[in-house]
Structure 1
Amino acid sequence: MIGRSPLVVDRAIEQAAQEIVGQGATGVQIRSVRDGGVRTASAGLADVVAKSPVHDEGRFRIGSATKPFVATVLLQLVAEHRLRLDDPIEYHLPGLLPDGKTITVRMLLQHTSGLYEYLRSMPLTNDDFAKYRFKHFEPEDLVGLATAKPLDFRPGTAYSYANTNYLVLGMLIERIAGRPWGAEVTERIFAPLRMDHSSVPGDRIRIPGKHARGYQAVQRSLVDVTEMNPSLAGSAGALISTTADLDKFIRALVGGRLLSRPLLAEMTRPLPFTEGYALGLETRTTPCGVTVIGHSGGIPGYGTVAFTSLDGNRRVVASWTHGHDPGNDAARAVIDKVICA
């Protein structure tokens, strides 16, 4: 399938874009790279009021696709011997977690800590989101929502995806490096890779540059939720980027520019019970037999996928604005259709 013609790939990504819009997204942009050749496609609207088309290089909130950036910085700190994967969190952040003596850095990275998902205490759908949309949140307060609840399971014995894990990791980066996690991501990843259209928004509510509007469906109507204070997501999902910039990141990561081969192997090796999740990366095998690594992401208004084959020769990055949310099935369908074209 590596020898497929550019026309076949073009048709595959165009069809994938149209299918996501057909499933409820207001707009979508897809970037596909196959053996060095770049293909892009877009569908739907960037703004349902102005009826403007989606821009192929528009910026967007990447949601949980932030997590591989945080994991990469942590593993770089491991390479610098500033911490170890099996360090208990209590050693670096004493008193933060009631079970900090048994929860390790590795468990946080792979979602096996058992920590309660803080977002279960603050729903982000429909009218509930309006309560939190423009508020500033400190990570300690969000982690406090989780630690007020008992663990979901004994640390290290099961898997449950929880954004709380990555809020703690952001705090850990700041404790080890002496400055905020976003500054480390910017200096260690954005700057050397020339990801010039990516940013750590902090409390800024607007997305800079060209971008599609993000929407949520509320009682059969679309509500524009593009502006929000992303401190709600923090190191678990606040970053802003483009398809081209995210492609630079996944290409550099799998190509060994950011981590040594042994650490990259750690990052891409899931446990039997973690549903393909390793250290900040999802791994899955497509229907055509190609194993891919990367991450999907969701935040009010926006969905993201960024995946690459292990050799870096096939890559796909996509963003869609939710509208009537097509859900995770759409993300998997994009990956499969484009990688396997």
Structure 2
Amino acid sequence: MIRYGVLALVIAMTSVLAPPAATAGNDLPRRMDAALERAAARFGDAGVQAVAIRDGRVIWSGRRGAAIVEPREPVTDRTMFVYASLSKLLLAAFALHQAETGVIDLDRPIAGYVGDEVPGARVVTIRMLLTHTSGYPDLYADPATAPLFPPGDRYDPNRPYTFEMLAPGIKEPVEPGRHFAYSNTGYIVLGRVLTEVSGGAQAFDNAYRRFLRRADHRLGEDQVTLRRSRRAFDRFAHGYTPKDNGTLEDFFTAYGATGIPTDLYGQPFADGLFAGTALGAGLTLDALFARGRMLRPATVRQMIAPAPQSPGGYGMGTYPTVAGGRTWQGHGGAYIGFNSMAGTDLGRGVTVVVLVNQLTPDAPAETIWRALAEASGHS
């Protein structure tokens, strides 16, 4: 099973300011519209939401396709999507903020925060969790927890998950600190640490909400959320995956979900914690990488610096991708029916985000994002 971000990582290794009108000296909207249509057309009626942001201003946005196939509902600017492993970047920024304020120490063993409830806690550090060097095996493949997820025989999309349900799949880490190995389990453990130091799940939610709103007042629940609420459900795109007969399977209905399937995002899934709009993800990356409103410059430099063990340049919840002849800092994500990709060109301060509600081996979000990154040119 492909879990949050693995596909995108391997391949890549409403108060909204209106976009500027196209003029003779500014053909960005035309270029971006054409790139979106050309790249997305190969994925049929897949729902796509995309945005380009510079210095807090939306310089272009686009959408196409179906948020829900039957009965058909088109994607709008308000449609919400699963971020999947793009969430790792958002969570890593919060963890580094907690380090800046002295709440956590990146190099202290996590036993100091969670005791011995997590295997390897006396050796594994928060830095290891952030950089995928903790060595935790994949709990989604572990016999103790795999049946809890689709198509497992104990999967129930209406039953909330808890950390205690996932804990039996967290096994002793393998050579912690020695090697890079992309680890969703490591980020679930990171989420547990941050929840404990915050004073519980609700306190963590509130602390993260304040963190976002300080960076940009537009980053409310309608743009980025970890809550599976009725309000979110009414705006949510359904996720689709292709079946062997060529039709699409609606993940929201395939297993009898009565709301948002409980494994799509939210606690305790800190490996894919958030959902929201392209604008929400875009404003977050822009505030972090371009406007410097989330972390100190030295902390951002530490965040994007490749871990010594990483062969692909992965830092702390983020990695570089080359597109359009430029290097972008960001993250992608993939989980049943959803695909995401986001990145900021640090040299120009331009952020491009793409969210798609269809997941195929062609990585729709990555494909469309690359076309848009190239089309962004010298904006």
Q: TM-score, normalised by structure 1?
A: 0.86
Judging changes above 3 Å, is the alpha-carbon distance between structure 1 residues 297 and 224 closer, same or farther for their aligned structure 2 residues? same
**DSSP 3-state at the match of 1:334:** helix
Q: How does 1:299-310 map to 2 (within 5 A)?
A: 299-310=335-346
Q: Report the AA paired with residue 188 of structure 1.
A: F
Over residues 147-168 of structure 1, what are the superposed CA-to-partner deviations in whole Å (9 max), with x where a residue is unaligned? Answer: 2xx53x3111111111111111
Whole-angstrom distance in 2 between the partners of 1:232 and 1:120: 19
Of residues 308, 313, 320, the one that matches 1:283 is 320
Whole-angstrom distance in 2 between the partners of 1:238 and 1:338: 26
Asked if the contact 1:31–1:244 (Cα under 8 Å) also holds between the matched residues in 2, the reply is yes
CA positional deviation for 1:296: 1.2
CA positional deviation for 1:72: 1.6
CA positional deviation for 1:200: 3.7
Whole-angstrom distance in 2 between the partners of 1:298 and 1:325: 10
Q: Report the AA paired with residue 334 of structure 1.
A: I
CA positional deviation for 1:219: 3.7
Over residues 25-44 of structure 1, what are the superposed CA-to-partner deviations in whole Å (9 max), with x where a residue is unaligned? Answer: 72212112367562122232
**DSSP 3-state at the match of 1:228:** coil
Judging changes above 3 Å, is the alpha-carbon distance between structure 1 residues 126 and 119 closer, same or farther for their aligned structure 2 residues? closer
- The question of 1:320 aligning with 2:351 is answered no
Asked if the contact 2:48–2:356 (Cα under 8 Å) also holds between the matched residues in 1, the reply is yes
Asked if the contact 1:217–1:223 (Cα under 8 Å) also holds between the matched residues in 2, the reply is yes
Over residues 94-116 of structure 1, what are the superposed CA-to-partner deviations in whole Å (9 max), with x where a residue is unaligned? Answer: 11232222211100001110101
Give the equivalent residue in structure 2 for 1:11: 31
- The question of 1:210 aligning with 2:235 is answered yes
Judging changes above 3 Å, is the alpha-carbon distance between structure 1 residues 59 and 131 closer, same or farther for their aligned structure 2 residues? same
Q: How does 1:238-253 map to 2 (within 5 A)?
A: 238-253=273-288
Give the equivalent residue in structure 1 for 2:249: 223
Give the equivalent residue in structure 2 for 1:142: 166
**DSSP 3-state at the match of 1:319:** strand
Whole-angstrom distance in 1 between the partners of 2:157 and 2:26: 43
Judging changes above 3 Å, is the alpha-carbon distance between structure 1 residues 268 and 213 closer, same or farther for their aligned structure 2 residues? same
Judging changes above 3 Å, is the alpha-carbon distance between structure 1 residues 292 and 13 closer, same or farther for their aligned structure 2 residues? farther
Whole-angstrom distance in 1 between the partners of 2:78 and 2:30: 17
Of residues 63, 74, 79, the one that matches 1:58 is 79
Of residues 102, 107, 129, the one that matches 1:108 is 129
Stretches of structure 1 that go unaligned for 5 or more consecutive residues are: none
- The question of 1:339 aligning with 2:373 is answered yes
Give the equivalent residue in structure 2 for 1:33: 53
- Provide the aligned C-alpha RMSD in A: 2.8
Whole-angstrom distance in 2 between the partners of 1:6 and 1:334: 22
CA positional deviation for 1:7: 3.1
Question: How many residues were matched structurally?
Answer: 332
Over residues 252-306 of structure 1, what are the superposed CA-to-partner deviations in whole Å (9 max), with x where a residue is unaligned? Answer: 1012111111111111111244222111112223251x22111212232221122
Q: TM-score, normalised by structure 2?
A: 0.78
Give the equivalent residue in structure 1 for 2:8: none
CA positional deviation for 1:192: 4.8
Of residues 32, 35, 43, the one that matches 2:64 is 43
Asked if the contact 1:45–1:51 (Cα under 8 Å) also holds between the matched residues in 2, the reply is yes
Over residues 199-232 of structure 1, what are the superposed CA-to-partner deviations in whole Å (9 max), with x where a residue is unaligned? Answer: 5444547734534322233443322223301457
Give the equivalent residue in structure 1 for 2:12: none
Judging changes above 3 Å, is the alpha-carbon distance between structure 1 residues 41 and 6 closer, same or farther for their aligned structure 2 residues? farther
Asked if the contact 1:314–1:339 (Cα under 8 Å) also holds between the matched residues in 2, the reply is no
Q: How does 1:173-188 map to 2 (within 5 A)?
A: 173-180=194-201, 181-188=204-211
Give the equivalent residue in structure 2 for 1:236: 271
Whole-angstrom distance in 2 between the partners of 1:174 and 1:321: 29
Asked if the contact 2:116–2:122 (Cα under 8 Å) also holds between the matched residues in 1, the reply is no
Of residues 302, 305, 323, the one that matches 1:269 is 305
Asked if the contact 2:140–2:149 (Cα under 8 Å) also holds between the matched residues in 1, the reply is no
Judging changes above 3 Å, is the alpha-carbon distance between structure 1 residues 217 and 334 closer, same or farther for their aligned structure 2 residues? closer
Judging changes above 3 Å, is the alpha-carbon distance between structure 1 residues 77 and 231 closer, same or farther for their aligned structure 2 residues? closer
